[in-house]
Every structure is written in structure tokens, then in C-alpha cells.
Structure 1
């Protein structure tokens, strides 16, 4: 029914507080009490307020029912929801409140059971289910719907603003209540998204009828890929080390492009087990421009840089081990935007500290390249969702399909190159030698063009290094997808490659194999492709 327009300033006489995260709780409750506001609370929140010496009424005093069923039932009651939902200027609502003895609740402060944190810790199924909040979201949605009259808080960061308004205005403004209602619905939406996606993973539902994506704002960005685009950085709570979970030790604020490229860099370098080898990936525009492995990070960095020192300028550097002083000294010789690593020692931090604008991120670990996950890309009117590309070459059944088998070093380099293919935009061609990329062709419409571009860039890198022949001479080559014709393979052979790794699966595989045999190339097929669009 229509009702009179609510007043801009709504006074607060009673507040219901029920929070799992009690950060700032006592200060907030004390300020409300100081303003003459009656406090009602539940369970552990009520105990915390009482222990602080503040007056508080238990919600069971309001409802006439005790908390029951291990706390599952305590606020799902007309005395609570009537107090939140009643339209104060509606005569019928006011009459119902009087008849049933329902007292108005003017402010609700709730943060939800820590479901996302529980899942991130790897808790078992039953524990995760127990951390699904029911009463909290119901109260939040009720209060948010009635925001004309009720102030709803789901984030402790908003306590101070609300207290300031109560102190200065005698209540909260419509503008604030609407903003808080918007935040409340966004919070319950993100919460339900986390629960539904967890269920989908647990039950192995490949294509849920409804798919929701939720996140929490980590950073408001100055702009997106370009200055005219607006952008923000949200985290989903996935327990995966990376840019979303990293500690920024120093440097300027990360930009949209920084975050995108740093994620690509760290995912790439995580392909290499730090217990087996040191590895470095240098990324530019989300594509590797040099990747290498070696016994030390410093040597791996020098090898990676050699692949394309021009593109490396202003790039992102990812390491799979703790950044040390020697490596930091090498990196500091050229302009770099971001360094990301599991950690950095004291000497390295001091060296990088001299570069005030250089961002240093430490993650505490590496993401697992085999771990499942969800990848989402928007399209007009919807979005595409797929599982993360978690194929790892060590798990594949490799088949030698040519007369000549690859030698031990060739095979090691073939595996190395195919790891990198997974992280290069399609069509991708990677030349590698002695555990380092020596030519990378990315994102071309033709696989032949990618092969030629990679070879030409290797010639440029050779000249930069003062060498007389292209770095691709005596290398191996990897392709992210099959060669549809022999021309791409022939381009690689012309560049000096001696062995090839590719998924296979083309109708012309036999022609490609025959062309490899004619040139005494060794060829290995993986059976798995790594398109990255």
C-alpha cells in the first residue's frame, strides 16, 4: 500500500547487533549506548557487549523464545522481522505492531558467518555447511528493503560514518540508508554466490542452471585498460596465492594493467617446481617476453632477459623462489613495473627499496598449476565460464611420432617450451634452448606468422647480445595447437629448430610428420592443446 514519504532523517532508538567479525564492535556499541540507543544482541555478540560493561538485551527477551538448535534458530521470528519491516507511516503496520507488541528496530548491524573463510581454510563438508548463515541474510534483506526507515550495516568500515551522522544529525540520512542498503544486498549476493559455487564444486556440477559471481572490493583503480575506462579490483576469496592475496611491500598503487599482467606472470612461473629449479618469467601485455629456469634466480633472470631485452623494459617479473640480493641487483638495472615472488630476503628488499615506484609483491607461496578453478569472461548479454587450464605436461602421455627421437636435452627443452605455451596468447609458438625461451610468437591469426615473428625476434635478441646467428639455431619449438599444414613446421625448421612438440589431432598430421622426417626433426605429440584467447 502507498504510504507517506519517509523523513530524510530517521532517529534510532533500538539497534540489533549480531556479528561474527567483532572488529570495532565494542567501540560501536559504546557509541550507540552513549547516544541513548537500546542495544539488542545475540549469542557471542551479546556476551562480548556485556563483558565490556555495556547494557544489552538478549534477542530472546525480544522474541520470547530461547536460541535453539545450536543457534540455528534465534532471529527468525515476527518480533524481529516485524520490527525491521514495519513501515513506520503505514497505519495498518502500526496497528499490527501495537496488537502483537512488536517493537521497532531502527538499526541492524550484521556480518555473516565466515563461510568464505571456512572454505578457504579447506574445512570439511559438514563444517562448511554449518557456516552457512540463514538468519543473518534474512535480517539484512529485510532491513535493506525497509531502508526508508531502517539503517543496515554489513561492514564495520561503515560504523564511524553512522555514528557521526547520529551525533550530528540525530539520526541517519536517506542518502546514507540507501547507500548502505545497496551494500547490504551486494553482500548477501556475493555470499550466496560463494555458497552456490562451493556446492557446484563439491557436487561436480559442470554447468549449473544459475551461476553467480561475487567478490569483495580490494581496490578502486584510477582507471581501466585505458584512461577513459573505470575499473575496480575485487577478490573472490579463492585460496590461491597470487596478486589478489599478495602483500604489497612497496611501490606505487597497482593499476588495472599491472594486476592483469602480474597475475599472468605469476601463473606462468608457478609451472616450475621451486624445489627442482629456479624460474623467472618476464611478462609484457599479459604475454611472456622471456622465461627461463636455472640453478639460481639470477642466472634464470639473465637468460629470460636475453630472449627479448627490448620488450622487457617496463615489464612484470615473476619468480618462483624468494627474491635474493643478487637477483634484485640484476632486476634493478632496467625499469620494471612489478616484481612478484613468494618472498624477498632483507638484502633484496633493501635494493628494491631504492626504486620507490617499483612495486614488490610477496605471496607466501605459489599457486598450484594442477588445481581446479573457474575462469570467467564477459560477452555482450552474458558471460562464458570454464574451468582453469590446469593441464600439466608432466601428467601427459607423450608420443614420439617421427623416425628420430629427441635427445635428452631436446626433450627437456620441449617440455619446458610446452609449459610456456599454456601462458602465451594463441596462436602461440615458443622456441627454447637450454631451459630458456629464445623466441616467442604470440597472438597471431596465422601459426606461420607466429613462427616467423618469433624467429625474427630471436635475430633481434642475438644482435642485442652481440651474437652472429639467431638464438633459435639449435633450439626446439612448441606449438599450443596442432599444425594444420606443414608450413608452420617448415618455418620453424628454417629458423633452426631441431625438435617439435605439439598437441596433434590435425587431419594432416601424417603430412606434418612426413615433413618433419624429411628434415630429420624429432616430433612429440601431447594430445592436449593450450589455446589462450
Structure 2
């Protein structure tokens, strides 16, 4: 039987209807500040916490519920005679329900130019304490942190009582909620202190957005979680099409990071988390045609990313081929009309693509029993250590092509070989266990002549056999990290064929 409830919420959704139901059921309601005011104005019987405890709210509300009359009433075990004797001797009444949600810290820190002082004032102290105490004593105290649970709790009360299973479920939700709340605070403090070291203890503030139809394969369950970072792909607005899948999110993430490498209008086509065509041009229509021509077969069923507004001309080119997702900073109305004929095609509006995207936080990968964590592969100046190691220097056109190829190569699975011209990829060697295999596979994928192309390699060439293969395919310049014990042998091979070679001093493995 629920005799007494404490209600103190920042999120007022459903509050009045829920409290009115409790009031009609004869439940005594204790409340604080703003919550009490709303309930009284709605004609609901409420006892102010300060009236109940005999102690006023102080320090602008910083201290109001931290009182033995409150926490004794919550934590007393109803099946423990000593607990009941203790509260009876002190005049403490049991509290059977606690309804609390916390100060809007997450919303506050997302505001532009928020000051530290404002963020600190939105760190809830009493709220988490009430929630944790109630969840600890869930067998005797019903605890609600989520307004979505109001209606089901009322239904259960009207039927007689709430099961232990339901009480445990509500308590479990509380501990997840307060853990994430504290993690958000710790993350914010790290951010403002520009913390770059790895923490001794680290809790990720993840929040479930939705469950997905399945994972990489139909037999795998999957879900989408958000973390408090910006920009966030989760915030991309879905303008049309089916729900995003697990694989759609993976591939779209890759496409967005590649597109963000370029200031020029760019088209990136990704398949299975690897680019199958990348091109820049004076407009998106031409960029798309160039990217598509790199590998039309692989492009089928792929993901496209643009860094400019998609217009009707681009849309009319795209609709001739099946794609899963198109993501761009904006779509004009005429383009949306064209795409409306493809009902299942997912269109994502992601304004962050108008600008360079720099991922925040860390890059995490799951392993058995833990995570491996690293900084994102992002450098301010990719070519600060670059040097020409052959007698022949790259021409200006070759330099432009080498820089283009290097930007793409960074996002190709190792071993990566990218054949390119100054504005497009021509052939891509991806994910082979041998670099020379990647050199051969990239050439096999090329649908146009490789003569006069350049090549970027994400790792050094261990043997001259790669250079022999590239020379046979007509490559005129190469960019690679260098650092092999056989660098001199590789340089001599390049000299033999008149190929210009640049060492970056930087490696871009991607597994």
C-alpha cells in the first residue's frame, strides 16, 4: 500500500496527471520548490518538504531534501524490526515512493557559450542521493526516474501493488541513469580542462536512442546509442527512406569522414566501410560522375556523401543507380522531388558537412574483456614531414594528385593502395594481406587507363616488387610513409623507372 510519495522533478512531462492520480488514491505527496508550486496550482494536495522537515530550503535550494526525516523514511527496511523501531522513536514516517528526475545538466552544457558557473549550478546533488537511496531499498520503495513509467505504475497500483520484478526494473533504470549523469559531469570537466591523457577510470555516458532491426547480420541483435559529443551523426535528420541499419551507420560514418577531408565540392561513394569512388570537381554533378566511374559495380547499393547542397541536377544523375543512403549538408526542394520516387532511399541532412569535421573524444574498439582506445587519426598538417626522396620531383599536377590520393588512402582498409589523378580515384587496392596484392588488385579494379596516375600507400613498401607492379601500370609518382629497412632499394627502383617518390613520415593503417 502506497501511503506517502516524494515528488521533485525538473522534467514536468506528465507530472500533473500522475500526481492527481496519486492524490485521488489518497497518497500523501511531499514536494519541493517548483514542483510543489505546479502541483498546488493544479489543485493537488501537497506538503512542502520544508514544512515536513521543519527545516527551510537554503542556499538557493542547494540543500532541501538532505535530511534524516527524508532519507530515514526512504531507507528503512520494512521487514527489519530495528529499522522500524528506529524511525518510530525519531518520528520518521516511511516514504513509499520517490519520483525524481535531475537538473538538466546535459541540456545546459550543450548551450552555446555556457559558463562553468552555470554548468555547476545544474549539477544535481539531492536528486541522485534520493534516487540511489530509493533504488537501494527498491523492495519497499517504488522509484521512478522516467516520466514514461508513470502510467504503468499507476495501473499497477490500481490493481493492488507493484511486483518485485517491476520494482527491481525501475531501480536498475535509476542506477544506469545516475551513472550516466555522473559520467556526463566527469566528461565535461575533462573537456573544459582540455584533458588529453587517458583516464584511470572512465565511464562512457551512453544513452539508448533505439534498437535496430539487426546487426551486421540478421541473427545479431543491435542498438544505437548516443554519447555527448558534437557533431553527432545521430543528429542527422532523416528526410526520407527506411530506418537506418547497423551497416548503414558504419558506412555513413566512413563516408562522412572522407568527405570532410576536402574543401572542394566532393563526392564520396562507400561500400562495406571502404571508398569505391572519390572525386572533387567544380560542382557536385561532375564530382558524382567521376566518383561513380571509378567503380560502378561496387557503387551499387553503396552510401554517398557530399559536402555541398544537393540540387536537382545531381539527384537526376543519382536515381539511375540503387543506393542505400545519401548524406549531405542540405538538399534543395527540387532534389527532394526527384528522390521522392525512390521511397526506400535514405536521405540524411547533416549540416556539419558544410565544414571540416574533427571527431572529438577518442576512437574506441571493442576486444574481449575491454576496449583499446586511441586518438582519432587526425593531424593538423599531413605534409609537414614530407620530403622528396628521388632525383625527379613531382610536377605540380602530380603534387595535387598525390595529396588527393593521400587523403583518400587514410580511410582505406590496410593494406591500402590508391591509384588516383588530381581530382579522382582510379583504382583502389583494399584490405589485402600483402601490399603487392593490393597494388595488383587496385590495378584490376581500374576501369580506365592507369597511365599517368599517382599512387598513395598507407604503409611503407617492404620490397621493390610493388614499384615494379606500379611502374608496369604506368604510375608516375608515389607517396608513402617510408621507414622500411629496404627504403634505399625501393628508392632505387623508383629512380630506375623515373618515378617521383615522396616520403611522408606518417603512416595511416586502418584495420
Cα shift at 1:105: 2.2
Task: Provide the rounded CA distance (Å) in 1 between the counterparts of 2:235 and 2:383.
Answer: 28
Q: Tell me the residue number matched to 1:338.
A: 325
Task: Provide the rounded CA distance (Å) in 1 between the counterparts of 2:330 and 2:90.
Answer: 61
SS in 1 for 2:304: strand
- Give matches, 1:327-406, under 5 Å: 327-366=314-353, 368-393=356-381, 396-406=384-394
Cα shift at 1:517: 2.2
SS in 2 for 1:365: helix
Q: 1:91 to 1:356 in 2, by over 3 A?
A: same
Q: 1:476 to 1:166 in 2, by over 3 A?
A: same
Q: Tell me the residue number matched to 2:225.
A: 234
Could you tell me which runs of 5 or more consecutive residues in structure 2 were left unpaired when the two chains were aligned. Answer: none
Q: 1:62 to 1:521 in 2, by over 3 A?
A: farther
Is the counterpart of residue 435 in structure 1 residue 413 in structure 2? Answer: no
Task: Provide the rounded CA distance (Å) in 2 between the counterparts of 1:116 and 1:292.
Answer: 39
SS in 2 for 1:409: helix
Is the counterpart of residue 498 in structure 1 residue 508 in structure 2? Answer: no
Cα shift at 1:308: 0.9
Q: Tell me the residue number matched to 1:280.
A: 267
Q: Tell me the residue number matched to 2:214.
A: 223
Task: Provide the rounded CA distance (Å) in 1 between the counterparts of 2:201 and 2:334.
Answer: 50
Match of 1:177 among 167, 177, 193: 167
Q: Tell me the residue number matched to 1:485.
A: 463
Q: Tell me the residue number matched to 1:528.
A: 506
Cα shift at 1:512: 2.3
Is the counterpart of residue 155 in structure 1 residue 167 in structure 2? Answer: no
Q: Tell me the residue number matched to 1:295.
A: 282
Match of 1:186 among 166, 172, 176: 176
Query: Do 1:220 and 1:231's aligned partners in 2 also have CA atoms closer than 8 Å?
Result: yes
Q: 1:391 to 1:79 in 2, by over 3 A?
A: same
Query: Do 1:400 and 1:523's aligned partners in 2 also have CA atoms closer than 8 Å?
Result: yes
Is the counterpart of residue 164 in structure 1 residue 152 in structure 2? Answer: no
Cα shift at 1:364: 2.6
Q: Tell me the residue number matched to 1:447.
A: 435
Task: Provide the rounded CA distance (Å) in 2 between the counterparts of 1:362 and 1:308.
Answer: 25
Task: Provide the rounded CA distance (Å) in 1 between the counterparts of 2:117 and 2:463.
Answer: 54
Query: Do 2:404 and 2:422's aligned partners in 1 also have CA atoms closer than 8 Å?
Result: no
Is the counterpart of residue 316 in structure 1 residue 303 in structure 2? Answer: yes
SS in 2 for 1:219: strand
Task: Provide the rounded CA distance (Å) in 2 between the counterparts of 1:131 and 1:493.
Answer: 64
Match of 1:24 among 14, 18, 35: 14
Query: Do 2:304 and 2:326's aligned partners in 1 also have CA atoms closer than 8 Å?
Result: yes
Q: 1:81 to 1:288 in 2, by over 3 A?
A: same
Q: 1:531 to 1:96 in 2, by over 3 A?
A: same
Moved more, 380-389 or 102-111: 102-111
Query: Do 1:41 and 1:58's aligned partners in 2 also have CA atoms closer than 8 Å?
Result: yes
Q: Tell me the residue number matched to 2:489.
A: 511
RMSD of aligned Cα (Å)? 2.1
- Give matches, 1:36-185, under 5 Å: 36-121=26-111, 123-167=114-158, 169-185=159-175
Q: 1:48 to 1:363 in 2, by over 3 A?
A: farther
Task: Provide the rounded CA distance (Å) in 2 between the counterparts of 1:93 and 1:336.
Answer: 65
SS in 1 for 2:216: coil
Could you tell me which runs of 5 or more consecutive residues in structure 1 were left unpaired when the two chains were aligned. Answer: 1-10, 463-469
Task: Provide the rounded CA distance (Å) in 2 between the counterparts of 1:101 and 1:368.
Answer: 63
Task: Provide the rounded CA distance (Å) in 1 between the counterparts of 2:342 and 2:33.
Answer: 51
Query: Do 1:393 and 1:415's aligned partners in 2 also have CA atoms closer than 8 Å?
Result: no
Cα shift at 1:427: 1.3
SS in 1 for 2:267: strand
Query: Do 1:261 and 1:283's aligned partners in 2 also have CA atoms closer than 8 Å?
Result: yes
Q: Tell me the residue number matched to 1:4.
A: none
Q: 1:144 to 1:510 in 2, by over 3 A?
A: same
Q: TM-score, normalised by structure 2?
A: 0.93
